[in-house]
Amino acid sequence: MNGVAMIGRAGETRRVGELVGHARQSRGGALVLTGEAGIGKSALLEHAVGAASGFEVLRATGSEFEQELPYSALHQLCVPVLGHLDALPAPRREALRIAFGLAGGTPRPFQVGLAVLDLLTSVRRPVLCVVDDAQWLDAASSQAMAFLARRAGADAVAVLLAVRTPSTVDALSSLPRLHVGGLGDRDAKALLAARHPFPLDDRVRDRLVAEANGNPLALLELPLAGGFAVPDSVPSRVEEGFRARLAGLPDDARLLLTIASADPTGDPGLLWPAAEALGVGGAVDDAAGLAEFGARIRFCHPLARSAVYRAASGGERRAVHAALADATDALTAPDRRAWHRAQACAGPDDTVAADLEQCAARARSRGGVAAAAAFLDRAVALTLDGRRRAERALAAAEACVEAGAVDRAADLLATVETALLDGPRHARADLLRARIAFSRPGDDSGPVWTVRAARRLVVTAPGQARECFLDAIETSFVVGRAGGVVEEVLASARALAPEPGTPDLLSALITWASDGYRAAVPVLRAVLHSDSGALWSRRPALASMIGTELWDLDTQFAIAEWLLKAGRESGSPLLLRLAFAQKATGAVLCGDMAEALAATAEEEAVADAVGEPPLRHHRLLLAAMSGRREETAELLRGFGGTGHVASLHWNAALLHNGVGDHEAALTAARAATGHGDLFLTGVALPELVEAAVRCDRPGEAAQALEALTERTQATGTALGRGVTAYSRGLVTGAEDDYREAVESLADSPLRPYRGRAHLLYGSWLRREGREECVRELRTAHDLLSTSGADAFAARAAAELRLAGHGVAHRPVQAHDTLTRQQVAVALLVASGATSNEVASQLFVSKRTVDAHLRAIFAKLGVTSRRQLKDHPGLAP
């Protein structure tokens, strides 16, 4: 590598060298270089390539003109190693073939990321992935590359990306970063001296250094611009320098460069036919200063490409795109051809718009939702007919919402002429506005828009109207709401929605609102178990909420297992994530911390694979049950403006009752139960009873106990009876209530709740001066300490000490020493899974699984997989 370009970059080259060196030792990693255009990121990429002797070097360059084509950059990166595809397991091989347009079907994004990891690790030497202009990666490629970067820790893979700032690339935000700043004056002068063999006049040199402001490319290009015209920023000055060089070239050379700039694939098979169609002759020599024309066409710098493209007139660009469209094979690259045709349009063109609509359908089928949104957005602009344009605008807005571009979706909806919409399309627009509101923190208008859509559909589509009412209720429960929203929705539903032939969920909820909890329970139970779990498949979150409110934990566990089975069969990331979150929640409630941590790790793996943040509710329950104040507070803050969600306050109340801060528990429990929601009010009421008793508010405690009793008597479960009994004991002080609690919960799998019953009974016995308190408190401490309810266990230990007895330390468990992912690996291996099966389930490479196993063996003191199965530290 030319040392001139590395002047003043000792720290940066060291970091890049470490990345390459670690990959050589099978300690893979990633680094994102950030900085303004021309600051030297591309030079650092080339330095990495030079340092990677013996590596397979894979390159890709993001392009603002190809952001709409799903997996285009990833395909560009993987082309040199596609010969290894056959070595991949069939599902991953097929996922890549579909993603790259080599086969039909719909790829699973999380399978694509894992398939790329498998593909690169199948190469029999270390791999360096170099990605320039990563701020312009298409969304699907960005997600897959980020997944690869995060999961290559035990593999011989280094990922180095350059991102121009200012820029926001959410998928890459979690990766390690190195900001590349400007050169100091001394290094800038040294760079000038190295570039120019003849001494510069001091005043000229100082002016150049001042104008470049530490930007190396600006420093080297400004003298070539022939003056000091000052555009808005240093990168624009550099572009101006490239434009000045372009202006001095013959017309043929400029046109050839414009063609190359409009086709970021760098494919000579497209460039030369397009050049011939436009009458461009032998201009390669003249254009060679700005681009190389070989097996691939490469510009000397990304800014040179953008400078050339922007320097062309609108007519020239349209002509170039038209020629490239003609040169592009309609069978093998229909989307790229359609996109070039769209860029060639000077005005509306329904034929091209229809092609773009087909492109959107293909992009969606390949998992490219962002690409579908871009195709449809452009199709809207090219559509002349008003009704057709409105229809396409709605489709484009829907795709934008799915892609997370809610602001653009709102803009598209604003262009729709409502006079052209019929009732169903009006409802569709209202539902889109609801989804946009749902995604915006602090915007609680989502249920209002959903109800408005329902009202439009009551006559023409009553079934859909009922689903809209349920949507409004579910989103209100999930994301929080101002008081009374659910009641308003149910009032509208009762007035407008026709009764179905058989009771359904909406009917049950209307019964609850109008006739009370006891009247609604039989209908809710019937709906929850009807049609072989139809509700589970259509609304798994709402089904789970109902199961919780009915104190029906068996159904809760069954829903989690159904979700897991359905998720594995369908490949749905949403179902899998819900399943693992449910499993983790159930495991926390049962006191199986190892299983809870493993399920949490599996949910995080799926979330990572699809580029989404992990779900938090089950992690919040895990932290609250364990009594970890700081972690619970941090997770609560992470929910942002959704402070009215009952579950957040229930978890806070659980935490504070555990650690003995009953005033804080009382405040949280009041918030959790204040609206009387169907979801989680019941399970939060015991926390309110205990907090109110401890804070000497007997009237409030009695009122909460009455509400709890009404619910648990209606549901009739042993769990509900037991929890109500120990809550009643707190209010009455009667021993019979505590005995009933212990007996009712004796067979319950919810060990923390069994432990709390024994704790409350033992505490009462100690205050009564009775010796049998020791037995109850020891049982409580054993149940609570081994089930991860550490704060409640500490309360049991304190009671034992007050009774004059010591506390034995509990045995070390796996979750005390292992990371979440290591716990997941240990449990899967203990169940008999192979390394390849574990790798597939946790979305890591086999090498990573084996590395985890070595660490697990060392930490747990075992030497084989067989010993893991019976290790006491993995038992609940």
Residue 68 tokens read as 């709409």
pTM (predicted TM-score): 0.78
Residue 757 within any structural domain of the chain: yes
Mean pLDDT over each residue of the chain, to the nearest integer: 86
Q: Are 355 and 338 in contact (CB under 8 A)?
A: yes
- Asked if 729 and 672 sit in the same domain, the reply is no
Residue 800 has pLDDT above 90, yes or no: yes
| pLDDT, tens digit (0-9, with 9 covering 90-100), for 214-247 | 888 777 765 544 334 333 455 566 677 788 888 8
Residue 455 within any structural domain of the chain: no
- Asked if 833 and 788 sit in the same domain, the reply is no
Work out the pLDDT band at 184, boundaries 50, 70, 90.
confident
Residue 272 has pLDDT above 60, yes or no: yes
Residue 483 has pLDDT above 60, yes or no: no
Residue 417 has pLDDT above 50, yes or no: yes
Q: Which residues contact 12 (CB under 8 A, 6 or more apart)?
A: 33, 40, 44, 178, 180
Q: What pLDDT score does 460 carry?
A: 85
Q: What pLDDT score does 169 carry?
A: 64
Question: What is d(CA 795, CA 657) in angstroms, rounded to the nearest whole number?
Answer: 10
Q: What pLDDT score does 796 carry?
A: 96
Q: Pick from 710, 729, 764: which residue ends a domain? A: 710
Q: Pick from 179, 196, 229: which residue ends a domain? A: 179
Question: Which CATH number characterizes residue 138's domain?
Answer: 3.40.50.300
- Asked if 17 and 150 sit in the same domain, the reply is yes
Q: Which domain holds residue 114?
A: 3-179
Q: Which residues contact 490 (CB under 8 A, 6 or more apart)?
A: 469, 473, 509, 510, 513, 514
Residue 64 has pLDDT above 70, yes or no: yes
Q: What pLDDT score does 114 carry?
A: 84
Residue 12 has pLDDT above 50, yes or no: yes
Q: From residue 459, how far is each of 127, 433, 454, 870 by CA, in Å?
A: 61, 21, 10, 62
Work out the pLDDT band at 478, boundaries 50, 70, 90.
low
Q: What is the mean pLDDT of residues 160-185?
A: 85
Total structural domains in the chain?
4
Q: What pLDDT score does 3 carry?
A: 55
Q: What pLDDT score does 727 carry?
A: 97
Q: What is the mean pLDDT of residues 452-470?
A: 86
Element (H, E) at 422: none
Work out the pLDDT band at 201, boundaries 50, 70, 90.
low
Q: What pLDDT score does 237 carry?
A: 64
Residue 466 has pLDDT above 70, yes or no: yes
- Asked if 84 and 143 sit in the same domain, the reply is yes
| pLDDT, tens digit (0-9, with 9 covering 90-100), for 739-787 | 999 999 999 999 999 999 999 999 999 999 999 999 999 999 999 999 9
Lowest mean pLDDT among 410-419, 521-530, 536-545, 701-710: 536-545
- Asked if 670 and 752 sit in the same domain, the reply is no
Q: What pLDDT score does 532 carry?
A: 47
Q: Which residue has the higher pLDDT, 127 or 374?
A: 127
Residue 15 within any structural domain of the chain: yes
Residue 470 within any structural domain of the chain: no
Q: Pick from 144, 179, 214: which residue ends a domain? A: 179
Q: What is the mean pLDDT of residues 194-199?
A: 68
Question: Which CATH number characterizes residue 748's domain?
Answer: 1.25.40
Q: From residue 473, how far is each of 492, 545, 552, 560 by CA, in Å?
A: 12, 12, 21, 22
Q: What is the mean pLDDT of residues 380-403?
A: 91
Residue 207 has pLDDT above 80, yes or no: no
| pLDDT, tens digit (0-9, with 9 covering 90-100), for 524-559 | 888 888 764 577 878 888 888 888 888 888 888 888
DSSP line for 79-116: GGGGGGGGGS-HHHHHHHHHHTTSS-S---HHHHHHHH
- Asked if 702 and 796 sit in the same domain, the reply is no
Residue 497 has pLDDT above 80, yes or no: no
CB atoms inside a 10 Å sphere around CB 729: 24
Residue 188 tokens read as 């800038």
Residue 653 within any structural domain of the chain: yes
Residue 51 has pLDDT above 90, yes or no: yes
Q: What is the mean pLDDT of residues 796-821?
A: 84
CB atoms inside a 10 Å sphere around CB 46: 16
Report the candidate in 622, 591, 640, 611 with the shortest Cα–Cα distance to residue 782: 591
Using a pLDDT cut of 70, give the percent of the chain over it: 91
Q: What pLDDT score does 234 carry?
A: 54
Using a pLDDT cut of 90, give the percent of the chain over it: 40
Q: What pLDDT score does 124 carry?
A: 86
Residue 643 has pLDDT above 50, yes or no: no
Lowest mean pLDDT among 589-593, 809-813, 840-844: 809-813
Residue 339 within any structural domain of the chain: no
- Asked if 71 and 37 sit in the same domain, the reply is yes
- Asked if 705 and 721 sit in the same domain, the reply is no
| pLDDT, tens digit (0-9, with 9 covering 90-100), for 603-620 | 998 888 777 888 888 999
Question: Which CATH number characterizes residue 870's domain?
Answer: 1.10.10.10
Work out the pLDDT band at 154, boundaries 50, 70, 90.
confident
Specify the amino acid at residue 491: A
- Asked if 727 and 863 sit in the same domain, the reply is no
- Asked if 725 and 866 sit in the same domain, the reply is no
Report the candidate in 290, 272, 268, 291 with the shortest Cα–Cα distance to residue 280: 272
Residue 34 within any structural domain of the chain: yes
Q: Which residue has the higher pLDDT, 547 or 288?
A: 547
CB atoms inside a 10 Å sphere around CB 427: 25
Q: From residue 687, how far is each of 16, 630, 666, 673, 774 by CA, in Å?
A: 54, 20, 8, 10, 25
Residue 346 tokens read as 């000077």
Q: What is the mean pLDDT of residues 632-659?
A: 82
Lowest mean pLDDT among 120-134, 332-346, 365-379: 365-379
- Asked if 762 and 846 sit in the same domain, the reply is no
Angle ∠(112,113,117) on CA atoms, nearest 5: 115
- Asked if 680 and 730 sit in the same domain, the reply is no
CB atoms inside a 10 Å sphere around CB 777: 28
Radius of gyration of the chain (CA): 32
Work out the pLDDT band at 480, boundaries 50, 70, 90.
low
Angle ∠(671,752,590) on CA atoms, nearest 5: 100
Residue 446 within any structural domain of the chain: no
Q: What pLDDT score does 756 carry?
A: 97
